[in-house]
Amino acid sequence: MKHAFVAEALGSFFLFATVVGSGIMAQNLSGGNDAIALLGNTVATGAMLYVLITMLGAISGAHFNPAVTLVMRLRSDIGTAQAVGHVAAQLAGGIAGVWTAHAMFALPIIEFSHKARTGPGQWTGEFVATFGLLLTIIGTVRHRPQAVPTAVALYIVAAYWFTSSTSFANPAITIARSLSDTFAGIAPHDVPGFIAAQLAGALAGWLVADFLFDAPARGEVA
């Protein structure tokens, strides 16, 4: 399992560094235009997701997300010890990625966000974003596993724009982004609401995905 844990830590490191680092770069270059900044942040995140899932998926499943790990454990795809190790690796690697992004842009390594992200609209956005992410993962694994990197990357690119919350869809990245007072940040006191919505969305996505995708495919004998 140690290879899987290293893969989860490395993947989370690069993914979280990309989210925060590209947000800083986009804000620096956009001249105050938040739409342009978000577009830069979106493209970089989607591209990195594709690379990381393609590169590390065969080693750890390329979760990089405790909500995904939780659902994979509930589906008995991984054991409890592996799930706990995955989450620990995601948090450790991801926070290191955020701190490294700060170092690259000459910002204080340790800081806390002041960016408010709260309220029913944002919580609904996080529920929908995570629900759709789990549907995408489980459905694509079931019917076209070779397309998982593309499907997940494209889903996140779209979800950045159609959800009110810009689709964190990941408890670990939510925690890590609370440690960055930048474009991608979230105030620490707003983290619990986001995580609760994400976990609810993940569980709902799992239940719907099991109903839709774990039934015999058309043409198969039950």
Q: What is the DSSP string of 15-35?
A: HHHHHHHHHHHHHHHTTT-HH
pTM over the 0.75 mark: yes
Residue 192 lies in a domain: yes
AA letter at 86: H
Q: Is residue 94 part of a domain?
A: yes
93 CB burial (10 A radius; 0-12, 13-18, 19+): buried
DSSP letter at 188? Answer: G
How far apart, in Å, do the first and last CA atoms of the chain sit? 34
The answer to the question of residue 79 being in a domain is yes
In the 8-state DSSP scheme, what is residue 217?
A: P
The per-residue pLDDT for 219 is: 47
User: Could you tell me if residue 219 is inside a domain?
Assistant: no
Rg (CA), the chain: 17
- Are 35 and 126 within 8 A, CB to CB? no
Identify whether 158 is part of a domain. yes
Residue 204 neighbours by CB under 8 Å, 6+ apart: 127, 131
- Residue 60 above 60 pLDDT? yes
Position 120 in a domain: yes
pLDDT band with cut points at 50, 70 and 90 for residue 214: confident
Name the burial class of residue 29, with classes exposed (0-12), middle (13-18) and buried (19+) by CB atoms within 10 angstroms of its CB. exposed
Q: Closest by alpha carbon to 42, among 58, 22, 25, 71?
A: 22
Q: Which residue has the tokens 């993914």?
A: 15
User: Which pLDDT value is given to residue 222?
Assistant: 43
Query: What does the pLDDT read at residue 215?
Result: 62
Please give the Cα distance from 156 to 64 (Å, whole number): 13
Does 101 have pLDDT greater than 80? Answer: yes
What count of residues does the chain have?
222
Instruction: Read off the CATH number of the domain in which 134 is found.
Output: 1.20.1080.10
**Domains in the chain: how many in total?**
1
The overall average pLDDT reported for the chain is 95
What is the rounded average pLDDT of the residues 165-192?
98
User: Is residue 66 a part of any domain in this protein?
Assistant: yes
Mean pLDDT value across residues 121-137: 98
Answer whether residue 222 is part of any domain. Answer: no
Whether pLDDT at 217 is above 90: no
Tokens of 222: 């039950």
Q: Which domain holds residue 68?
A: 2-213
